[in-house]
Amino acid sequence: MAEVRIELIEKRIGQKIILHPITLTVHDGEFFVLVGPSGCGKSTLLSLLAGLDQPTAGRILFDGSDVTDLEPRERDVALVFQSYALYPHMTVRENMAFPLRVAPRAKRLERNRIEEEVQRVAGFLGLSALLDRRPRELSGGQRQRVALGRALIRKPRLFLLDEPLSNLDAQLRASMRAELLRLHKELKVTTIYVTHDQTEAMTLGDRLAALSQGRIQQIGRPHDIYAAPVNLFVAGFMGYPPMNLLSARLRNDGLQAGPLHLTRPSDAPTVDQEQIVTVGLRPEDVVVAPATDSGNEGAGFGIVRLTEPSGPTLWVTAELNDHSEVVTISGSAQAGFVPKIGERVAVSGPRATLHLFDPTTGQRLGAS
């Protein structure tokens, strides 16, 4: 296991900045997730950690030792890619044994010890019955487990995973997430995981870093980032359905977001005159009810454009049509109410759990 320290790492290609200076610490034994949209620089950062690429500036330390200029094999890291990268002509046993067979002579194990290690890791991953099969005879989930096993068998100090579940179907991805968490809990190898899937990031990471355009936007525990996003990017990216972001007028006596009159958050800044802000409402905090419901104080009205059943939850998208700015928001329908497309409904927001942002800088206002 290892503590990873990244100090002012920067990556440029010509005049193009891929990664702006990044400083980050991943604790020993931690499952840390790098999450962000395609092109944000997360895979580039993983390649720098693995030694597959060199930074333009800055340095990388493992347990306090500078590894910035070391070759990949000198760093003692294991890397699992989105593509399984298995040798098609080798069996599962041979694929898993390969890293041990090509290890430096001083670290190479005897043949019987290699077989023991293959059996141990295969048993751990549920692959014992598949050892004599070739990759083409395996399902996607089985191939991914073989790729994980080939990395784990080396007992690396650092485990790097670059979107390893992207090629799997939804049900298999969910089961493999549980498998990864089980493996990490038992092995406690420092793990850095890259994904564009914010659900994956929220469910897997002890902590996560949200990236956009080569910059780290926020670092923290998943719940803390979800509860208090530091800017508009994080607010809109973390969570599904995404946070509703509405233009609003902040006054000392309240908050007006189009037709919605919302209670002014207690920690909102005091203003001398009306101030334009962006207010964020999580979809689960918005209620859609019949337009005739008189119990929704501060509600506005909208026209239903889309309904999406999701198990016990019904997500409703409605256009707020009672003021000049047309916006689309999503919310859960109140119990027992299933609106129809085109129906006029009452839309109300919460009295708490509001997020205020500066519309110019995008930064969070207060700790609403």
Which residue do the tokens 């670092």 mark? 219
Backbone angles phi, psi at 233, to 5 degrees: -60, -50
Highest mean pLDDT out of 153-162, 268-277, 324-333:
153-162
Please identify, in words, the CATH class of the domain defined by 4-237: alpha beta
* Domain ranges within the chain, ordered by starting residue: 4-237, 244-357
Secondary structure class of 279 (helix, strand, coil): strand
Task: Give the tens place of pLDDT for each residue, 186-221.
Answer: 888 899 999 999 989 999 999 999 999 999 999 999
Could you tell me the pTM of the whole model? 0.86
Which letter, b or e, does each residue of 59-91 get, where b requires 16 or more Cβ atoms within 10 Å of its Cβ?
Answer: ebbbeeeebeeeeeeebebbbbebebebeeeeb
CA–CA gap between residue 174 and residue 179 (Å, rounded)? 9
Task: Give the tens place of pLDDT for each residue, 57-99.
Answer: 999 999 999 999 999 888 989 888 877 788 899 999 999 998 8
Instruction: Describe the crossing of helices 140-152 and 170-187 by its angle, rounded to 10 degrees.
Output: 20
CA–CA gap between residue 149 and residue 158 (Å, rounded)? 14
Q: Please tell us whether the domain made up of 244-357 is placed in CATH 2.40.50.140.
A: yes
Q: What is the mean pLDDT of the chain?
A: 86
Task: Give the tens place of pLDDT for each residue, 144-162.
Answer: 889 888 888 888 889 999 9
- Total H helices, total E strands in the chain: 8, 20
